Amino acid sequence: MDFTVPAPTPPAAATLVSPNGSITTNNPTYTWNKVAAATWYNVYVSGPSGYVFSEWYSSAAVCGASQCSIANATTLAAGEHRWWVQTWNGTGGYGPWSTGMSFTTTPPAAASLNTPNGVTTSNPTYNWDKVSAATWYYIYIQGPSGNLVHADWYSSATACGMSTCSIAGATPGLTSGQYRWWIQTWNSVGYGPWSSGLNFSVP
């Protein structure tokens, strides 16, 4: 009597979720939808110069009921990246690669300064518009003779509200004269551009 043993079926392709589009971290979490028949997943990442990362992960280690994710796998440079996932199980072997998903790691934009601008006090509060992608701000203040008056980093978490950021008491006791200040933004992807400078004077 003849009988037929069906060929083992490999797992289906994974569907990627994120990262996708413009992101503001150089260490994204990679998330995809769980494939029921897959016991292992190969995550492959390419960057502006080609290969960046490839590693296998077991479903038991990285998947929940419906999604899988890995964190702290890559520290990326700024630029466009693309990633894929391939499935595997011990019965059917390698499944197909997922459709690739592209994302771009983006440094923050420049800040827009508000005050001080024009005549002010000898201890002004420095105010600027919040940059959503910035996690830190570097404030640089130049004095009447072009000398450095103040330069320091301030975190978005401590200096910013919903739409603006401000630092009070950074330069108490400024002497009479002309001043100019700038801000540079930063996040884990890298440095943003310097703001336009803003002049103020202390009578």
CATH homologous superfamily of 15-105:
Immunoglobulins (2.60.40.10)
The token pair at 125 is: 């509060």
Where do the structural domains in the chain lie, given as residue ranges? 15-105, 113-202
What is the CATH number that goes with domain 113-202?
2.60.40.10
- Give the residue among 156, 178, 174 at the shortest CA–CA distance from 165: 156
Strands 148-155 and 67-70, how do they pair? unpaired
pLDDT digit of tens for each residue in the chain (203 aa)?
Answer: 988 877 788 999 999 999 999 999 999 999 999 999 999 999 999 999 999 999 999 999 999 999 999 999 999 999 999 999 999 999 999 999 999 999 999 999 999 999 999 999 999 999 999 999 999 999 999 999 889 999 999 999 999 999 999 999 999 999 999 999 999 999 999 999 999 999 999 99
Domains 15-105 and 113-202 fall in the same CATH topology: yes
